[in-house]
Amino acid sequence: MMTAALDPSYGEAAVRKAGAVVDAGGPERGAARRRVPGRLIGLLVLLGLVTGIAAAQVRQRADDAGRVRRSLVADIQRQTRGTDLLAVQADKLRSEVQRVRNQALGEDARGRSAAAQVAALELATGGVAVHGPGLVVTLDDAPNVSGGTSTARGGQLSNGRIYDRDVQDAVNALWAAGAEAITVNGQRLTAQTAIRSAGEAVLVDFRPLSPPYVLRAVGNVDVMEPRFADGPTARRFTTWTSLYGIRFDATRSQDLHLPGAGAPDLRVAKPEGRP
């Protein structure tokens, strides 16, 4: 752009025109006419120079933005891997603490009673792993959302996405149907679990999840399945499947294994009075 700002044809035409002017009007008039194409060529060269500089600056800014984005993505991936490793270590330490605690409490009748109470509380708060029959509910974006094409039956593109409120509705419907324990993409839900969004990402306990969203619920499947299928949430998802092409599946499972959520954060504690 900077080395050839003026097309060669324009230069040749300007030279021929200048020669014609010299022949027709004499040397003085021809010299005056030649100054006009010279100024035009200078303006075009200057315009090309400015355009080239602007294009170079835009390209440099795009490259800088791309480098920043790649650096942020790499940081997120690195931090996610570190968090996963810490979660594995925490699970191991939690199991060791539970083993030592049960061993210490099993020495007398009072300790065994306390251990039974702790086990019941852990089960109620989702602190321990569970397994049993249940339902597996899968929610996913419409196939054409990622491709950027229009959705089925003329729906808007955003209507083919699964949002945090959709996951919330499905989870609440499973609780209402009789679920005793639920996970979303392997994340165990408790009374303190938050399902939110950050941009287009769905967060469960501040952990970003990617579609498809697989909800596993343990409970009496003979009671839970008809209650969930006949509820308003399942009917709404079925309608959205036909309108916008989202994926909604609910299947039975004979044995689901759900991990524990771990002990909640201790906020208030006081020593027990001596007997």
Q: Calculate mean pLDDT across residues 110-130.
A: 81
Report the CATH number that the domain containing residue 252 is assigned in CATH: 3.30.70.1880
pLDDT tens, residue by residue, 170-210: 999 999 999 999 999 988 998 888 899 887 788 888 888 88
Q: Is the pTM of this model over 0.85?
A: no
DSSP 160: G
pLDDT confidence band for 116 (50 / 70 / 90): confident
Is residue 50 domain-resident? no
The owner of tokens 């209402």 is 176
- Within a domain: 72: no
How far apart are alpha carbons 48 and 54 in whole angstroms?
10
| More confident: 22 or 9 | 9
E strand intervals along 143-224: 181-184, 187-188, 195-198, 201-204, 207-209, 213-218
At 94 the pLDDT is 77
pLDDT band at 120 (very low <50, low <70, confident <90, very high): confident
Residue 245, number of CB atoms within 10 A of its CB: 19
Which pLDDT value is given to residue 239?
A: 92
Residue 273 and residue 179 in contact, taking contact as beta carbons nearer than 8 Å: no
Handedness of CA 109, 111, 116, 121 (dihedral sign): positive
pLDDT, mean of residues 231-258 = 92
DSSP 200: T
Q: pLDDT tens digits for 23-40?
A: 544 555 555 555 556 677
Q: Rounded to whole angstroms, how far apart are CA atoms 152 and 149?
A: 10
Question: What value does the mean pLDDT of the chain take?
Answer: 80
The residue ranking higher by pLDDT, 228 or 7, is 228
- 143: helix, coil or strand? coil
Residues sharing a CB contact under 8 Å with residue 259, sequence separation 6 or more, in sequence order: 91, 129, 183, 186, 188
The string of pLDDT tens digits covering residues 82-114 is 888 887 888 788 778 878 877 888 778 888 888
Tell me the three state secondary structure of residue 221: helix
Answer yes or no: is 275 within a domain: no
List the domain range (segments joined by +) for residue 228: 131-258
Q: What is the pLDDT of residues 137-159, one digit of tens each?
A: 999 998 876 544 444 444 444 57
Look at residue 84 in the predicted model and tell me its pLDDT.
81
Please state the domain count of the chain: 1
Residue 8 lies in a domain: no
Q: pLDDT value at position 260?
A: 83
16 within a domain of the structure (yes/no)? no
Q: Say if 187 falls within a structural domain.
A: yes
Q: Is there a domain that residue 92 lies in?
A: no
Report the percentage of the chain scoring pLDDT > 70: 79
Highest mean pLDDT range out of 48-52, 76-80, 184-188? 184-188
**pLDDT reported for residue 72:** 85
The confidence band for 4, taking pLDDT boundaries of 50, 70 and 90, is low
What pLDDT score was predicted for residue 216? 96
191 lies in some domain: yes
Residue 134 has pLDDT above 80, yes or no: yes
Res. 20: pLDDT tops 50:
yes
